[in-house]
Amino acid sequence: MPNEGSFEAALRRSNEIQADLAVHPENYTMLTGDRPTGRLHMGHYFGTLVERVRLQNLGIKTNVIIADYQVITDRDTTEHIADNVYNMVIDYLACGLDPAKTMIFTHSAVPALNQLMLPFLSLVSESELKRNPTVKAEQEASGHALTGLLLTYPVHQACDILFCKGNIVPVGRDQLPHIEQTRNIARRFNERYGKVFPTVDGLLTSTPLIPGLDGRKMSKSYGNAVSLSMTAEETAKLIKKSKTDSERNITFDPDNRPEVSALLTTASICSGRDPEELANEIGMGGGGELKRVVTEAVNGYFEPIRERRRELEQDMDYIKDILHEGNARANEIANQTLNEVREAMGMVY
Ligand code: TRP
Q: Which of 132, 129, 130, 126 is nearest to 1 (CA)?
A: 132
**Sequence-ordered list of residues with C-beta below 8 angstroms from that of 211, at least 6 positions apart, any chain:** 217, 218, 258, 261, 262, 265, 266
Top mutation candidate among 70, 88, 156 for ligand 1, by most atoms within 8 Å of CB:
70
pLDDT score recorded for residue 208: 66
41-50 pLDDT, tens digit per residue, is 999 999 999 9
Cα-to-centroid distance, 221 and ligand 1 (Å): 19
pLDDT score recorded for residue 3: 64
Q: Which atom of ligand 1 is nearest to the CA of 166?
A: 14
For 57-68, give one letter per residue: b (16+ CB within 10 A) or e: eeebbbbbbbbb
Q: Residue 251 and residue 241: Cα distance in Å, rounded?
A: 20
Top mutation candidate among 30, 49, 62, 65 for ligand 1, by most atoms within 8 Å of CB:
65
Question: pTM of this prediction?
Answer: 0.95
* Cβ atoms 164, 35 nearer than 8 A: no
Instruction: Output the residue whose Cα is nearest ligand 1's atom 9.
Output: 157
For residues 11-24, average pLDDT: 96
Ligand 1 lined by 68 (C-beta under 6 Å): no
pLDDT score recorded for residue 172: 83
287-309 pLDDT, tens digit per residue, is 999 999 999 999 999 999 999 99
Mean pLDDT, the chain, integer: 95
Reported as a pLDDT band with limits 50, 70 and 90, residue 277 is: very high
Ligand 1 lined by 89 (C-beta under 6 Å): no
Cα within 13 Å of Cα(339), Cβ side: 6
pLDDT score recorded for residue 136: 87
| Burial of 220: CB neighbours in 10 Å, binned 0-12, 13-18, 19+ | middle
Measure Cα distances from 11 to 8, 32, 47, 71, 175 in Å: 5, 18, 17, 30, 13
Ligand 1 lined by 32 (C-beta under 6 Å): yes
